[in-house]
Structure 1
Amino acid sequence: MVRWWRRPWIVPFAAIVVIFLAFSIPPYLSFDPARSRVPQPPSLGVAHFWLLVPHVLFGSVALGTAVLQIWPRFRRRHPAAHRRIGRVYVFGGVLPAGLCALTIGAYTPYGPSTRASDVVLALLWLGVTAAGWRAARHCRFGEHRRWMIRSFALTASIITNRIWAAVFVIALSPQLDTTFHGDEGLLSWVASSAAAWLGWTLPLLAAQWWLERDHLRTRRVHSRPSASPTPEPALPHP
């Protein structure tokens, strides 16, 4: 059995999730639209905020429970807890957060490209999670694992989205007066769009690459010829 300290990604990832949630949740726990980090689109007004709040809170449930769900040692030692937390992940996290994301994504103030990315992401997130849940219900646990790894990649994409957004804002800001003709709104649209698409496509592609590599490695192990037994020496005829 692989010890937890031999999986160096577990503790750093959990720390990143805790820091991210500690930074992201407080403005929405105040239930004050003025503290929202996302501008309210004129078409929805304050209604956008009241869809954004449950999206953030339920999405935080999904992200927090995902930490335990992807921990191999926890899954092996506590299968009953894994199943219960999995239900919380699906029905108390991804499902309500994804449904809210469909609406707020369709009305995002960051332009049509970001809008398209947000809606596609929400549909994929709901779809792969539903496929993973159905596979588990039918005891197809290998298939369940593959779908849930994809679901986890999309859940965690909110973190990579924020990283890409910071990168693009820093990289594009020197071009504000040239390329963007002083239009901060246009710069925000371009940075948001690039971050939105890269934020979830790269983690999903990485997850798929990892699954394919794992699948090929398993096939190689199973296709290895077993060692032939050494034949016993023939006895001389009397």
Structure 2
Amino acid sequence: MATETITATPAAAPPPRAVHWWRRPWIAPLAVITAIFLATALPRYVGLDPTLSLVPTDRGPAFYPALVIHIFSGSIMLSAAVLQLWPWLRAHHPRVHRWSGRVYVLSALVTGVGALIVSQFPSAGSSHLVANTLFAVLFLACTVLGYRAVRQRRFADHREWMVRSTALGFAIVANRFWIPVLIAIFAPEALTDPNASVDNNPEIHAVAVTSAWLSWIVNLLFAEWWLHRKPKKRARVDRAR
């Protein structure tokens, strides 16, 4: 009797579970913080008036144009980064996610080049220059490596490099946190002195240098912890998705 060959049809993969907002509780606060930062920082530069700049602009003819380009492109970059980190958008509108990713990469490259130029005119000496230059180089490198990885369809590597790039990109936001904290700790008298600056106050000088390092080092360390946290924790997260 002839035998029949029965080919089993593989079961269809179950659709991915929706990621509930409470499993990503950081996206809403991040969006709010970004909006507040842009609303308070960007208007000073929209009119292209150097006298409204938060930092002194008498550092050569290249400084202010590079600063404005850095701030405008950085505003686009931060907005695109929030969209990139939004799980609901990535799951339900992948096309928008891809386009916001392209916007992020392009604006990040312009922002990084602007930061590299601006960092050559430090307000707090050589250590300040080194901190900001190293930040700009790492930020550009992580962004380029992330873009290269996705072009080569190495999506796991792409995710890791873009997490690092985004963490470094938000260093400017973190800097606004570290400066008042460090002033309150090391130079509380400067809080009531409107004339205190890095030029006439050594404590403010030290605060500017320390904040320049902390703002991106802490962010990068957090990104590395996030990427390499214990597998058990990551497994629980994956099962909950």
- Match of residue 227, structure 2, among 205, 208, 211: 211
- 1:97-116 pair list within 5 angstroms: 97-116=111-130
- Tell me whether 1:146 sits opposite 2:163 in the alignment: no
Shift of 1:89: 0.6
Distance 1:50 1:211, change over 3 A: same
1:108 counterpart SS class: coil
Shift of 1:5: 4.0
Paired with 1:139 and 1:152, the residues of 2 have a C-alpha distance of 20
Give yes or no for contact 1:40–1:109 (8 Å, CA) kept in 2: no
Give yes or no for contact 1:55–1:100 (8 Å, CA) kept in 2: yes
Paired with 2:126 and 2:234, the residues of 1 have a C-alpha distance of 43
Partner of 1:82: 97
Paired with 2:159 and 2:69, the residues of 1 have a C-alpha distance of 27
RMSD over aligned CA atoms reads 2.2
Aligned-partner residue type, residue 191 of structure 1: V
Partner of 1:201: 217
- Tell me whether 1:66 sits opposite 2:108 in the alignment: no
Aligned-partner residue type, residue 7 of structure 1: R
Partner of 2:27: 10
Distance 1:89 1:173, change over 3 A: same
Shift of 1:100: 1.0
TM-score normalized with structure 1 length: 0.83
Shift of 1:41: 4.4
2:48 counterpart SS class: coil
Q: How many residues align?
A: 213
* Worse-superposed segment, 165-174 or 114-123: 165-174
Paired with 1:174 and 1:220, the residues of 2 have a C-alpha distance of 45
Paired with 2:217 and 2:185, the residues of 1 have a C-alpha distance of 20
Unaligned runs of 5+ in 1: 177-181, 222-238
Give yes or no for contact 2:187–2:204 (8 Å, CA) kept in 1: no
* Worse-superposed segment, 70-79 or 115-124: 70-79
Task: Please give the per-residue CA displacement for 1:8-27, whole angstroms capped at 9, x wherever unaligned.
Answer: 21111100100000001001
Paired with 1:135 and 1:54, the residues of 2 have a C-alpha distance of 27
2:187 counterpart SS class: helix
Give yes or no for contact 1:65–1:88 (8 Å, CA) kept in 2: yes
Partner of 1:225: none
Identity %: 42
Aligned-partner residue type, residue 200 of structure 2: E
Partner of 1:132: 146
2:205 counterpart SS class: helix
Shift of 1:175: 7.0
Paired with 1:220 and 1:89, the residues of 2 have a C-alpha distance of 29
Give yes or no for contact 1:157–1:203 (8 Å, CA) kept in 2: yes
Shift of 1:108: 1.7
Partner of 1:187: 203
- Match of residue 177, structure 2, among 129, 151, 163: 163
Partner of 2:133: 119
Paired with 1:28 and 1:219, the residues of 2 have a C-alpha distance of 42
Partner of 1:22: 39
Give yes or no for contact 2:179–2:208 (8 Å, CA) kept in 1: yes
Aligned-partner residue type, residue 93 of structure 2: H
Paired with 1:95 and 1:127, the residues of 2 have a C-alpha distance of 9
TM-score normalized with structure 2 length: 0.82
1:38 counterpart SS class: coil
